[in-house]
Amino acid sequence: MRRTNIQWVALLVLLTFAVSSCATMQQTYEDNPKAVLGTIGGAGAGAGIAALAGASPGWIVASAVMGGLVGGVIGNKLDNRDKQMASEAATRAFEQNKTGQASVWNNPDNGHSGSITPTKTYQLSNGQYCREYKQTITVGGEKHQAYGTACRQADGTWQIQS
Q: CB count, 10 Å around CB of 31?
A: 10
Q: Give the residues lining the site for another protein (CB under 8 A).
A: 98-100, 120-123, 126-129, 152, 156
Minimal distance in Å, beta carbon 72 to another protein?
Answer: 31
Q: What is the 8-class DSSP label of residue 155? A: T
Q: Residue 129 or residue 147: which is nearer to another protein going by CB?
A: 129
Task: Report how far apart, in Å, the C-alpha atoms of 74 and of each of 95, 110, 142, 146 are.
Answer: 25, 14, 10, 11
Judged by beta carbon, residue 111 or residue 156, the one nearer another protein is 156
Residues 75, 68: Cα–Cα separation, whole Å: 11
d(CA 91, CA 149): 13
Nearest CB to another protein, comparing residues 37 and 160:
160
Measured over the CA atoms of residue 29, residue 32, residue 36 and residue 42, the dihedral's sign is negative
Tell me how far, at minimum, the Cβ of 98 lies from another protein, in Å: 6
Closest approach of another protein to the CB of residue 74, in Å: 29
Shortest Å, Cβ 105 to another protein: 22
Residue with Cβ nearer another protein (49 or 94)? 94
